[in-house]
Structure formats: C-alpha cells, structure tokens
Chain A
Amino acid sequence: MSRDPASGMAAGSRPRRPVFLQPLQIELPVTATVSFGHRVSGLLLALALPFLAWVLALSLRDPAGYGRVLAGLHSLPARLVLVLLAWALAHHCAAGVRHLLFDAGIGTTLPVARGSAWAVHAFALAVAALVAGGLW
C-alpha cells in the first residue's frame, strides 16, 4: 500500500490536507507539554520497575545485600537517576490526579486547565529539587 510520506495516510484515502510536522517550530501550549510529560514520565517509571524489583530482592536477602543497595543508591550515577525518577514520579502523579479530576468534570475550562498544567510542571520540578537537596 502506498502511503503519503507527510501524513502517513494511505494515498487516496483522505483528501490532501496541509501537514506541518516540525515539532521544534510548533509552539506547544503548556497543556500539551504536560500531556507529553505524562507519557515520558510514565515510560521512565516503567523502565525503572525491574530495577525496583531487583533492589527490593537484594535489600531483603542478607545484610550484605542491604549494604550494597544503600551504597549503590548513594553513588553519583544512582543519585542522578533518583532525581530524574523523583521528577517522573511527581509529574506522573500530579498529572494523573489532574486527569482524574477531569474525569470527574472538575477543572475542564481552559484557564483552569492551563493553570493546573503549570502547577503540575512546578510541583514536579519542586519535588525533584527537594530530592536533589536531600541527596547532596
């Protein structure tokens, strides 16, 4: 099947429309960056899950394993990852609560949705900064 390279649509299936897919030139509204951040943070958290299971198993195995986990979590790369994951967890939770409120019909007008979107970004950065402060 031949596809239109710009739209990805099957050729001839839709009338041709102008397509402008230049992510760096499109000015995304803050609600869109929160939506994208929700995806990115969810993906990061999902990638961290196997490591969480590993850390849990190792920390419960014996005192040596417990010590290895503590020492490992205090290493520089681990601390950087922890700050990133703290951002991801805070962002994902806050944006998720915002979504649940939308489901309940709360905060769905544009000014309120914009305000809560800024609040999600601010909260996530604040949590990441607090965790960074606690780790250094």
Chain B
Amino acid sequence: MKAFYAGMRGWLLQRATALYLLGFVICFSLRGLLTPPASFEAWRAWMLSPGPRLATLLFFVAVALHAWIGLRDIALDYVKPFALRLAVLAAVAGGLAATLGWAALTLSS
C-alpha cells in the first residue's frame, strides 16, 4: 500500500498546490492591474496587512512544494549519473528552502 501511495502523494500535492497557485496568480495579477500601489507606504501597508501577508506566505510554501516536484521530475529524467543527480537535487532543495525562508522572514518582519 505504501508503495502505491508513494507516487500518488507527489502527484496529488502537485495538483493541490497548482490550484492554490492559480487562484493566487489570478487574484494578485488582477489586484496589481486594477489598483497598482501608489507609493512605498501604500504598497507596504497593503502587502503587510493580514490577508495579503498570509496569502503570500502560503504562496511561497505552495510554490516551493510545486517547484520541488517539477524540478525533481526534470532532474530524474535528464540527469543520469548518480552523484550529479544527487548534487542537482540537493541544490534544488537548498535553493527552494532558502527562497522560502527568505520570503517567510520578509513577511514576518
């Protein structure tokens, strides 16, 4: 059973995060197009208000998971030598984790 769900989990996570990312991209694009921030103060006040702040934090969590699954699939398809594959996967995981951490620090300050 566990082996059956092993591939299913990534597949499901990729789609669940895709739905959130799609909604986020549509909402934030519309907001940015319809009422672009007029100044630094307006931008900061809006971005750090609870709704956008939480939504953006969730976006970075979702996009890190989504990108991990996608980049992992690409690496497994094209990078065959074991050591190089391990290095690429480690770099991808490290880069995504660092990006997520940076965004979380920005949004929690």
Question: A60-B44, A60-B47, A60-B48 are contacts. A49–B96 as well, Cβ < 8 Å?
Answer: yes
Interface 0/1 of B36-78, CB less than 8 Å to A: 0000100110011000000010001001100100110010000
CB distance from B40 to the nearest CB of A (A): 4
- Identify the closest chain A residue to B102 (Cβ): A53
Q: B25 on the interface (CB 8 Å rule)? A: yes
Asked if B25 and A93 make an inter-chain contact with CB atoms under 8 angstroms apart, the answer reads yes
Q: B18 on the interface (CB 8 Å rule)? A: yes
Partner of B74, one of A43, A56, A63, A103: A43
For the A-B complex, the count of residue pairs with Cβ-Cβ distances under 8 Å equals 64
Q: B88 on the interface (CB 8 Å rule)? A: no
* Listed residue (B19, B40, B47) with the most chain A CB atoms within 10 angstroms of its CB: B40
Interchain CA distance A93-B99 in the complex, whole Å: 21
Residues of A within 8 A of B (CB): 8, 39, 42-43, 45-46, 49-50, 52-54, 56-57, 59-60, 62-63, 66-67, 89, 93, 96-97, 100, 103
